[in-house]
Structure 1
Amino acid sequence: MGTASTPVRPVVVIGAGPFGLSAAAHLRARGIPVRVFGSPMVSWREHMPAGMLLKSTPVASTIDAPQPGYGLLDFCAETGTRRLESEWDLIPVEDFAAYGQWFAAKLFPDLEQVRVVSVDRAPGGGFALKLDSGESCEARAVVVATGLSGLARLPRELAAAIPDGPSATGPVSHAAQHRDLSGFAGREVLVIGAGQSALENAVLMAEAGANVRVVARRAGAVGFGDAPDRQPRFSPNSPFGKAWSLYALSYHATHVRHLPAPARHYLVRRVLGPLGAWWLRERFTGRVAVTDGRRIVRARVERGRPVLTLSGGAGVERELSADHVMAATGYRMDVAALDFLGDGVRTGLVTSRGAPVLDAGFQSAVPGLYFTGLGAASSFGPLMRFVCGTRYASPRLATSLAAR
């Protein structure tokens, strides 16, 4: 009399953004049972401003799949959304979010739109998960692909002025808290930061009728990239433009792991860092004011209005006030912010400045726990901050997991 076989525990992917969907597609193509938890493209649908255009080109905006037919151009052709024929073509965030949802519907009709409440080690090995649906399940491995969720960075001087935290309707917010910017019409807004998020949010608010000023810490920080026809002719192509450094970081990310930790963190912070897209320059110039070369020293709220004290040269300080301050100051990976990871899992991680240290297959120091997307950037470099990084990450992660 035979014995019943033990069901194979699946691999669980937490997150249904580009990196989660891509990793799951590669795992499923290898015949590995996969469960994907999350709302597809939720960050792109709910935490990016309406009217935003992607900084990345069409070639850099495809979610990698192991089989043909699931690229951005395939989506456009099948749905008749738009024609993307060259690097001059721009992609509205709404179209990209729709592409990700199309990708999910095609490859994961069984995607489960539930939230993972906790991940702990299971007594017999692997992981025990609890879902907000009330279900408990086990997994032999877990892939964390939660994107930017919970990782918004706020300068400590701003944070000190708002004990209850940033809020879209309060005096201070983070850019991730806004979808509709039309409500800023007729208001004075200070935008902190000099990257694409800061500059594009500033432009969109100004175009909606707001009086907007960008405040940047470095002098001359506000700048814009070169149009496709102005890039170096004899440098190699990369998804981000023509430059040897960009080529190396795009196609040889494996080597980034072997650099000293300070160098890796510097690359993530500075390469492809604060710089507006070439097409934003004309919309920005003459419409948005700039105060640069000044750092926030203190912040306070007076009668509902935020007031910033800025440092300057020779110890001179000045104050700026507005109806609202928006911090477009990016995101910072910190495993402490991933509150669904149980203490037994979290304490087993080896981290560097809050980010998990990963092996060549994207596995952390906790056997069976993998990170991809922003969670992998400190190990593999700035490529992991962008959608085109799925082409590098997903096959390697799937290969590592298949070998377990």
Structure 2
Amino acid sequence: MYDLLVVGAGPYGLSIASHAAAAGLRLKVFGRPMASWRDHMPRGMFLKSEPWASNLSSPQGRWTLERYCAGQGVSARHGEPIPVEMFAAYGLWFARNAVPEVDERTVTRVSPCPGGFETVTEDGEVLHARTVALAVGVMPFVEVPGALRELDPALVSHSSHHSALDRFRGGDVTVIGGGQAALETAALLAEQGTHTRVLARAARLTWNDVPPPWERPWWRSARSPHSGLGCGWRNWFYAERPGLFHRLPETTRARIAGTALGPAGAWWVRDRVEGSVELLLGQEVSAARAVAGGVRLDVRDRAGTVRPLETEHVIAATGFTATRERLELLSEELRGGLAAGADGAPEIGRDFESSHPGLFMAGLVTASGYGPAMRFVHGATYTAGALVRGVRRRLDKGTPSVGAVRVPESRDGRGAVDAVRR
């Protein structure tokens, strides 16, 4: 039986695995390393976060993005965005150097069993672990507006469903959303010759400012310090003190998680959008249906006026909603038994442990518990250290048995209890 099984091999999963290995835990890591970054972001995109705020975490802090870039003959400088392809390659380099071998199979089911958890892989192998850390990233939580959900995927897709945009070359695409994913996707489409429009509910787009120099007079730094989420004391608190954020009242945490660092475009994409992309602001889709050649949208403005808009394809860059019910790899009894907050996300307690003893969570799904930093790579550093401390604490206490849960047989015909005892 493993001490810890990590489900997911993105920045959070790899960081947790690095800390767990250094702590001497008997560990197993599942997932295709950096899969979201390799498979779900079109070529030509850049990291929005600063390079120094985009490190995966190891206990010694040796395997940094700056070190990887230097080895490739590239400088990772403040104020200069890093290509997504380079960041994905950095994650693979980190996995080779800082993490035990990753099993690239997908875990399809996690269930409670006496002494811990039973996990099943895509090819049917059953494994047991005393604790589990879910670091499943954002893909289980894709959000598409209700008016578009019933349309064929050939007509409507989410921005995260594309590793390339070539098939839209010369066509007509409407991008829904006003954040970085929408604006950068629109820029890439326009630059390849696609007629592109952005449709957003906001009356105007928000653009992040060019970051101030790293070296500044002390009084400027004191007034607005750098942080992994941008300048300013509020961002510094979110980025550098997730543990204190967790102590805020639940209603306050939920409000901040839902509103802080709202949709905005990076400063370096602004000139690529304005003047090149049609902007339909203060509008939203009220209905949609398939028509010959594409999609007909009913678009409603703030005055309530509805007008038709036809397009060949709609890309919904409408983010992700992390709720308990979308954690479908958890068995029904485990998922249904988790305590959830008013926003539907699982309640996350001390050191990222859920309400089910021994089940830990990381990444976006913990944002309402530990703050906006959990939506960014920067949050992996705090998470990895705290979560592994929580795992060690849970192992010292022992994970309570779950006697009321039915335990299926393992593949060799013996009960899972026998497998646990081995």
TM-score band by shorter chain is over 0.9
Tell me what 2:164 maps to.
180
Question: Could you tell me how far apart the structure 2 residues matched to 1:178 and 1:115 are?
Answer: 20
Tell me what 1:226 maps to.
209
Q: 2:127 aligns with which of 107, 112, 137?
A: 137
Once the 2 structures are TM-superposed, how far is the Cα of residue 182 of structure 1 from its aligned partner? 1.9
Query: CA contact under 8 A between 2:21 and 2:99: conserved in structure 1?
Result: no
Once the 2 structures are TM-superposed, how far is the Cα of residue 223 of structure 1 from its aligned partner? 2.2
- 1:93 paired with 2:84, answer yes
Once the 2 structures are TM-superposed, how far is the Cα of residue 262 of structure 1 from its aligned partner? 4.1
TM-score, L = length of structure 1? 0.92
Q: 1:206 aligns with which of 190, 193, 213?
A: 190
Question: Could you tell me how far apart the structure 1 residues matched to 2:257 and 2:208 are?
Answer: 18
Q: CA RMSD in A?
A: 1.6
- 1:383 paired with 2:373, answer yes
Give a deviation string over 1:46-86, Cα, whole Å, max 9, x none.
001111011011111100110132111121223x25111x3
Question: Could you tell me how far apart the structure 2 residues matched to 1:235 and 1:400 are?
Answer: 33
Once the 2 structures are TM-superposed, how far is the Cα of residue 228 of structure 1 from its aligned partner? 1.7
Tell me what 2:412 maps to.
none
- 1:56 paired with 2:49, answer yes
TM-score, L = length of structure 2? 0.88
Give a deviation string over 1:292-335, Cα, whole Å, max 9, x none.
11122111111241111122243321121111110000011122
Question: Could you tell me how far apart the structure 2 residues matched to 1:361 and 1:208 are?
Answer: 46
Identity value in percent: 40
Secondary structure in structure 2 of the residue aligned to 1:366: coil
Question: Could you tell me how far apart the structure 2 residues matched to 1:318 and 1:265 are?
Answer: 35
Structure 2: any 5+ residue segments left out of the alignment? Answer: 215-219, 395-422
Tell me what 1:83 maps to.
75
Aligned CA distance change for structure 1 residues 111 and 81 (closer, same or farther; 3 Å): farther
Give a deviation string over 1:146-197, Cα, whole Å, max 9, x none.
101221100111114x1x5xx2xx1111101111112211111110000000
Give a deviation string over 1:197-220, Cα, whole Å, max 9, x none.
000000000001001110011211
Question: Could you tell me how far apart the structure 2 residues matched to 1:188 and 1:203 are?
Answer: 13
Query: CA contact under 8 A between 2:228 and 2:240: conserved in structure 1?
Result: no
Question: Could you tell me how far apart the structure 2 residues matched to 1:115 and 1:315 are?
Answer: 46
Q: When the two structures are aligned, how many residues end up with a matched partner?
A: 387
For 2:24, the aligned partner's letter is G
Query: CA contact under 8 A between 1:16 and 1:36: conserved in structure 2?
Result: yes
- 1:41 paired with 2:34, answer yes
Query: CA contact under 8 A between 1:171 and 1:304: conserved in structure 2?
Result: no
Question: Could you tell me how far apart the structure 2 residues matched to 1:21 and 1:395 are?
Answer: 12
Question: Could you tell me how far apart the structure 2 residues matched to 1:61 and 1:230 are?
Answer: 18
Question: Could you tell me how far apart the structure 2 residues matched to 1:313 and 1:332 are?
Answer: 25
Aligned CA distance change for structure 1 residues 132 and 314 (closer, same or farther; 3 Å): closer
Query: CA contact under 8 A between 1:256 and 1:381: conserved in structure 2?
Result: yes
Q: Where do residues 324-363 of structure 1 align in structure 2 (5 Å cutoff)? A: 324-352=313-341, 353-363=343-353
Once the 2 structures are TM-superposed, how far is the Cα of residue 260 of structure 1 from its aligned partner? 4.1
- 1:307 paired with 2:296, answer yes
Query: CA contact under 8 A between 1:301 and 1:307: conserved in structure 2?
Result: yes
Query: CA contact under 8 A between 2:353 and 2:360: conserved in structure 1?
Result: yes
